[in-house]
């Protein structure tokens, strides 16, 4: 992998980086990156987590000093201060949430009356015109935090355009979007870039974001030099192949599994969404031992709500959740775990590990109330250590010791540890949510394989994801969550990603 392939720099307009190196935490994050994006085009920065995408965007925006290299705006080298004024960076998480959409759109340049008051009438007209460009002019008075993720991203784009930037820089805007939402967002982004005649630079972990309208892509690897490729004539699978170096990530599971006893039964589940989130409108399903039930949906289309209900974070408004015949809809997570249900969340989830704890402490998180890790209120260090050594060996977690702090491990190693913790005691049912999201592709495959193996040992596996391909790869049965309800799709050779996306977006109806 690696190697520079393009050396084109900026021409009359647009943005370009030339031989740019960015260091992060004393390591080389990016070495010798070169690319150019013309006005109206979109340059993608593709890379796994921790490859320096955010650092690169911050460097281009003038917020961080490069180790070497130059950034050209409009064909001329621009110093950091000029770039800070000229470029608009949209971070992954919006920093301000307690505003109405109207206020958010006017935040950086509010129309003034006598330099002190606010001209709300004029401001509203300006905000309405901006919001109309992204199709959200009906939402001016909605609280920003009540918006769906895709709407928030579009509002951020509209607000950035108001600053008349020379280029838009976007940090993983599609990370929390379902595939149909990502398409919608990218289509509008391309249109706005064209209308404004400015380039865009978009960091992402999804190769799909490069199609159909991306112009070129720069790939960042953790231990190799970056490469810039033209997307002319390139297919998505060819890009994945180039990115992964031929890793066989399309491996099929070991075959359909024969379902055993029903473990989990959900009936008539209704849960009202927050803000403009789609509510769950009566969901019914069973999950059985020895099978993988995959549920695909966009986070804001009810997947987050269903996950919260299963985790015990939210109580359903109506309906029941029975686990092993026992009603658990109102039970806390500890009761669920002690009954044999365990959870694996996305690697970046904040609620499944403690970064400041050691590896051995993280491996007993949530299991200290039962033997063998505690007795009479005291921890048993020998059991804790033994459990850790066994997990490190069985799950091939290289470079970690029982006393290593979790924060010193890579994201992939952390997720392996969490998977190890959850499967090592043979749970009855595993509820997993996008367990490989953002990981390196081989780490994704390892996590996936480990979970499937646990299913083959007899555990039930309920797999929630917003990525159709992932669901197709693991599912014995597959349901699409659309408009708060399930649409069941047969898992056959003819099932395609496009068919699932069509169901997710409601287009199939």
Partner 1 sequence: MIPGRCRAGKREILANALVLLALIGGTHALGVGVLDLNPSRWTAPWTGDVVLVGAGLLFLGVAFLMPLHGGMINLGIHAEFLAGYSVGAIIVRGGVFGPGLQAGLGLVAGAAVGALVGFGIAALRQKFAVHEILSGLLGAALFVPLARALSVDRMAPPALAIDFPALTQPLKWAPGLSLAPGVVLAWGILLLALSMVVAVLFAHFLRATVSGFEVRASGANPLAAAAIGTDVEGIQRSMMALGGACAGVTGALQLWTSPAVALERWPFPLGFAGIAVALLGLGSLRGAAIAAFVLAAWLNTPYVAHVLGQPGYGAGAAALLLLPALWILPRTFPDFGAPRAVWRTRHREG
- Which residues make up the interface to partner 1 (CB under 8 A)? 93, 97, 145, 149, 176, 274-275, 277, 299, 304, 311, 332-335, 337, 345-346, 348-357, 361, 365-366, 368-369, 374, 377-379, 407
Torsion of CA 375, 377, 381, 384, to 10 degrees: 80
d(CA 415, CA 344): 9
Name residue, tokens 């473990």.
Answer: 263
Residue 316 vs residues 183, 275, 296, 325, 363: alpha-carbon distances, Å = 31, 17, 20, 18, 30
Smallest separation (angstroms) from partner 1 to the CB of 222: 19
Pick between residue 115 and residue 350 the one whose CB is nearest to partner 1: 350
Q: Which of 461, 465, 451, 477 is nearest to 428 (CA)?
A: 461
Pick between residue 251 and residue 274 the one whose CB is nearest to partner 1: 274
Smallest separation (angstroms) from partner 1 to the CB of 285: 22
Smallest separation (angstroms) from partner 1 to the CB of 298: 13
d(CA 397, CA 342): 21
Pick between residue 231 and residue 419 the one whose CB is nearest to partner 1: 419
Residue 329 vs residues 311, 323, 324, 351: alpha-carbon distances, Å = 9, 9, 13, 20
Q: How far apart are the first and last CA of the chain?
A: 43
Pick between residue 360 and residue 503 the one whose CB is nearest to partner 1: 360
Pick between residue 98 and residue 223 the one whose CB is nearest to partner 1: 98
Smallest separation (angstroms) from partner 1 to the CB of 382: 13
**Whether the Cβ atoms of residue 42 and residue 87 lie closer than 8 Å to each other:** no
Q: Which of 229, 215, 148, 219 is nearest to 185 (CA)?
A: 148
**Which pair of structure tokens corresponds to residue 185?**
């967002």
β-bridge mates for residue 143, sequence order: 100
**Which pair of structure tokens corresponds to residue 391?**
């997990």
Pick between residue 151 and residue 445 the one whose CB is nearest to partner 1: 151
295's enclosing H/E stretch is strand 292-296
Smallest separation (angstroms) from partner 1 to the CB of 60: 22
β-bridge mates for residue 455, sequence order: none
Smallest separation (angstroms) from partner 1 to the CB of 139: 15
Residue 348 CB partners (closer than 8 Å, separation 6+): 49, 411, 437, 438
Smallest separation (angstroms) from partner 1 to the CB of 365: 6
Smallest separation (angstroms) from partner 1 to the CB of 143: 10
Cβ-based burial of 212 (10 A; exposed 0-12, middle 13-18, buried ≥19): exposed
Residue 180 CB partners (closer than 8 Å, separation 6+): 298, 501, 504, 505, 507
User: In 3-state terms, what secondary structure has residue 23?
Assistant: strand
Torsion of CA 93, 99, 105, 110, to 10 degrees: -130
d(CA 491, CA 235): 25
Smallest separation (angstroms) from partner 1 to the CB of 225: 28
Pick between residue 209 and residue 361 the one whose CB is nearest to partner 1: 361
User: In 3-state terms, what secondary structure has residue 277?
Assistant: coil
Pick between residue 32 and residue 346 the one whose CB is nearest to partner 1: 346
Phi (first) and psi of residue 335, to 5 degrees: -65, -40
Smallest separation (angstroms) from partner 1 to the CB of 107: 17
Pick between residue 50 and residue 503 the one whose CB is nearest to partner 1: 50
Residue 473 CB partners (closer than 8 Å, separation 6+): 250, 251, 252, 253, 448
**Whether the Cβ atoms of residue 330 and residue 311 lie closer than 8 Å to each other:** no
Phi (first) and psi of residue 456, to 5 degrees: -70, -20
d(CA 367, CA 420): 13
Smallest separation (angstroms) from partner 1 to the CB of 220: 19
Pick between residue 285 and residue 357 the one whose CB is nearest to partner 1: 357
Pick between residue 259 and residue 297 the one whose CB is nearest to partner 1: 297
Smallest separation (angstroms) from partner 1 to the CB of 377: 5
Phi (first) and psi of residue 248, to 5 degrees: -85, 80
Pick between residue 149 and residue 460 the one whose CB is nearest to partner 1: 149
Smallest separation (angstroms) from partner 1 to the CB of 431: 13
Pick between residue 145 and residue 195 the one whose CB is nearest to partner 1: 145
């Amino acid at each position: 992998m690696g190697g520079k392939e393009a050396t084109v720099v900026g021409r009359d307009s647009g943005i370009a980086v030339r031989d740019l190196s960015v260091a992060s935490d004393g390591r080389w994050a990016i070495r010798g990156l070169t690319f150019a994006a013309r006005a109206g085009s979109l340059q993608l920065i593709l890379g796994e987590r921790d490859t320096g995408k955010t650092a690169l965007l911050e460097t281009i925006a003038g917020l961080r000093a490069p180790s070497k290299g130059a950034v050209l705006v409009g064909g001329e080298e621009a110093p950091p201060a000029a770039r800070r004024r000229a470029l608009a960076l949209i971070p992954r998480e919006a920093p301000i949430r307690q505003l109405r959409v109207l206020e958010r759109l006017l935040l950086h340049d509010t129309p003034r009356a006598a330099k002190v008051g606010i001209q709300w009438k004029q401001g509203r007209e300006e905000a309405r015109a901006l919001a109309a460009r992204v199709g959200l002019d009906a939402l001016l008075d909605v609280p920003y935090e009540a918006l769906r993720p895709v709407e928030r991203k579009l509002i951020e784009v509209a607000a950035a355009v108001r600053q008349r930037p020379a280029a838009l820089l976007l940090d993983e805007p599609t990370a929390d979007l379902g595939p149909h939402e990502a398409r919608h967002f990218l289509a509008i982004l391309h249109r706005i870039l064209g209308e404004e005649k400015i380039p865009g630079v978009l960091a992402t972990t999804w190769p799909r974001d490069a199609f159909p309208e991306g112009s070129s892509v720069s790939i960042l690897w953790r231990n190799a030099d970056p490469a810039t490729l033209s997307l002319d004539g390139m297919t998505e699978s060819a890009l994945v192949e180039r990115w992964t170096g031929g890793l066989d990530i399309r491996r099929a599971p070991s075959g359909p599994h024969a379902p055993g006893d029903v473990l989990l039964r959900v009936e008539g589940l209704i849960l009202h969404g927050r803000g403009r989130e789609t509510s769950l409108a009566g969901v019914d399903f069973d999950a059985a031992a020895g099978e993988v039930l995959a549920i695909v949906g966009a986070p804001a289309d009810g997947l987050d709500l269903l996950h919260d209900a299963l985790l015990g974070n939210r109580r359903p408004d109506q309906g029941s959740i029975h686990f092993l015949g026992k009603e658990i809809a109102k039970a806390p997570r500890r009761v669920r775990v002690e009954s044999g249900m365990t959870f694996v969340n996305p690697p970046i989830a904040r609620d499944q590990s403690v970064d400041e704890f050691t590896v051995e402490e993280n491996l007993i998180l949530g299991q200290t109330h039962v033997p063998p890790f505690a007795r009479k209120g005291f921890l048993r260090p020998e059991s804790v250590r033994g459990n850790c050594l066994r997990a490190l060996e069985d799950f091939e977690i290289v470079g970690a010791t029982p006393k290593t702090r979790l924060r010193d491990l890579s994201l992939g190693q952390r997720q392996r540890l969490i998977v190890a913790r959850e499967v090592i005691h043979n749970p009855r049912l595993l509820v997993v949510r996008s367990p490989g999201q953002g990981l390196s592709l081989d780490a994704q495959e390892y996590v996936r394989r480990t979970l499937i193996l646990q299913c083959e040992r007899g555990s039930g596996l309920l797999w929630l994801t917003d990525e159709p391909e992932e669901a197709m790869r693991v599912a014995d049965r597959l349901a699409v969550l659309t408009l708060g309800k399930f649409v069941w799709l047969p898992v056959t050779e003819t099932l395609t990603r496009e068919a699932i996306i069509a169901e997710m977006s409601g287009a199939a109806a």
